[in-house]
Structure 1
Amino acid sequence: MIVVHHLETSRSTRILWLLEELGLEYEMHRHARVNGRAPENLKHIHPLGKAPFIVDGDLVLAESSAILRYIDARYGGGRLSPLAGTAEGAMHDQWLDLAEGSASFPLLLPLLGQMMGGLPDPMAQFAAARAKDLLAYIAEGVGEGPYLMGERLTLADIQMVYTLEMANMAGALDGYPALQSYRDRLHREPGLIKAIEVGGSLVPSSWSRG
């Protein structure tokens, strides 16, 4: 059985969503934040001292996109992944990686700024410009939707939900009604609803909208 090390109010909710979506049995080890951070004892379990990570037999695996790909390929029969080696598969992987690559840092920066009492002007300008480009690009990708890859829920949507949550908490989705609708649709997905019931909310309550 897969063991999920789940950090409260974090990206690891996405792993729970996939497991619920596939109807898989799993064991969850829940870790509470300490002063907003992952607890130090996680380093005794995984060298990076962060979550999510899973344990499946002898495999100890971190990084959300790697975990999502592994679970879907091994236990989901690739149900939530377009066929590798196709144009659709390549575009799906781009969205999957963009959520934690290009998009994550500039969309997280405004929230960090709120906690620190503001960002330096050059950093704030960088974040605003990059966020504008990224959100416009994601909105174009969703298009008529309902999902990033059209009619089919995929790993890319599961990965993207936390990125959208960060943007929403920073008030960045206000100018993008298509992304607001997309986020709302994802929050109505039964798998995500169950994941939040089991693991708690996606983001800390201290992340107030700016």
Structure 2
Amino acid sequence: MTLKLYHCKGARSVRPLWTLEEMGLDYELVSMKFPPRFFQKDYLEVNPLGTVPFFTDGQAEMTESAGISQYLAEKYGPTDIALTVDHPEYGNYLNWIHRSDATLTFPQTIVLRYTMLEPEERRLKQAAEDYTQWFFARLRSVEQALEGKDYLCADKFTLADICTGYALYLATTLGFKDGFKPNTAAYYERLSARPAFQRAISL
């Protein structure tokens, strides 16, 4: 079966794309302009939600970036970037995979919407400011988790770092990088130096 990923440069689809690159899997990439529901109308026939990413593997169809990354690691592993259920840090690993989107990326998407994507007359400065503060409050969990460590789980690079690393990448595109605390800033530098990350954000 062909692994097929619908992708927009810089969007959440970076997570599964980065995963594919780290794992060295063969895949088909469909690159689109963001948001594709406006610029590529036929995309709604592929994914009626109009969201990115959209991923197919045979009969499997998926829309959630962290879930696709987890699926790839579990179905096409074993891989060094995944932890198994018997690992003592498995719960922490899963929590970071899902926290990365629900807790860290979500407030940034509100900022993105109300500072860049909405027409000028619909932009909401207060909403953008409030959700910026929300993001930085949640980012403290990353800073604390990295105290004395290079990576979030198991003393090695895993999917938890891919998924959380995307949230940090998105933050840099929004101009938030100067707000990173020392552990977070050093962590992002480690992640962004990885060749697979560099390939994923270039596509």
TM-score range relative to shorter protein: 0.7 to 0.9
- The Cα of 1:94 is off from its aligned counterpart by 1.0
Distance 2:54 2:138 in 1: 27
Displacement, 1:126? 3.5
Which residue in 1 is equivalent to 2:14?
13
Query: Residue 5 of structure 1 contacts residue 28 of structure 1 at CA under 8 Å; is this kept in 2?
Result: yes
- State how far apart, in whole Å, the 1-side matches of 2:45 and 2:31 are: 15
The alignment's TM-score, normalised by the length of structure 1, stands at 0.81
Identity among equivalent pairs (%): 28
Moved over 4 A (4+): 34-38
- Deviation, 1:170, is 3.4
- Is 1:40 the counterpart of 2:41? The answer is yes
Once the two structures are TM-superposed, the CA of residue 149 in structure 1 deviates from its matched residue by 1.3
Cα distance 1:187–1:34, how it changes in 2: closer, same or farther (>3 A)?
same
- For the 8 Å contact 1:106–1:127, the answer to whether it is kept is yes
TM-superposed deviation, 1:86: 5.0
User: Which 10-residue stretch deviates more, 22-31 or 141-150?
Assistant: 141-150
Q: Which runs of 5+ in 1 are unaligned?
A: 200-210
Q: Which runs of 5+ in 2 are unaligned?
A: none
Contact 1:42 1:50 in 2 (8 A): no
The offset of 1:98, in angstroms, is: 0.9
Shift of 1:119: 3.2
Bigger relative contact order (CA 8 A; separation at least 6):
1
Conserved 8 A contact 1:108-1:167 = no
2:166 alignment partner in structure 1: 162
Partner of 1:127: 131
CA distance in 1, matches of 2:115, 2:44: 28
Structure 1 counterpart of 2:194: 189
TM-score (norm 2): 0.84
Confirm or deny that 1:142 pairs with 2:150: no
What is the letter of the counterpart of residue 6 of structure 1? Answer: H
State the 1:39 CA deviation.
2.8
- 1:105 paired residue number: 106
User: Offset at 1:21?
Assistant: 0.8
Range moving further from structure 2, 31-40 or 89-98: 31-40
In the TM superposition, what is the alpha-carbon distance from 1:157 to its structure 2 partner?
1.0
Tell me the distance in 1 between the aligned counterparts of 2:12 and 2:132.
22
Does the 8 Å CA contact 1:3/1:55 hold for their aligned counterparts?
Answer: yes
* Cα distance in 1, alignment partners of residues 174 and 150 from structure 2: 23
1:82-93 map, 5 Å: 82-84=83-85, 86-93=87-94
